[in-house]
Structure 1
Amino acid sequence: MNYWNFNFSALMLTDTSFFRNNNYHEKTDVMGTLDLNRMAKAIDGVYDALLAF
């Protein structure tokens, strides 16, 4: 939103991980608590969407 306030085009992408991961931004938020397969699917989806745009 801050970019829009200064007339810059911007897009925010989020996987809303804070809704699914109780470790988000906690001391327990470490590599072992991440679902890397799911994260890879999210990245692939964004990449594919950008190519289609």
Structure 2
Amino acid sequence: MLPDTRLSDHTSFWDEGLPALMVTDTAYFRNPYYHIPADRADTLDYAFMARLVESMKLVIDELAVP
């Protein structure tokens, strides 16, 4: 496992043996402003976010089918 996959809230669930899912756009690998003062709304890629949300909805809909 890559150490960077542990850099989010889901890790505490994994550590307790509970299932958890991390959804990411690869954070600071994609956004050079991630978690620094320049991380502002005007530096975000809203078109990319919209595609990500649409894709995640499709995944969730598929997983929700019994």
Tell me the TM-score normalised to structure 2 length: 0.69
SS in 2 for 1:12: coil
Unaligned 5+ runs, structure 2:
1-10
- The unaligned stretches of length 5 or more in structure 1 are none
* Deviation (angstroms), 1:12: 1.0
Q: Which residue of 2 aligns with 1:40?
A: 50
RMSD: 1.2
Report how many aligned residue pairs link the two structures.
Answer: 53
Greater relative CO, 1 or 2 (CA 8 Å, sep 6+): 1
- 1:30 alignment counterpart: 40
TM-score, normalised to structure 1, is 0.83
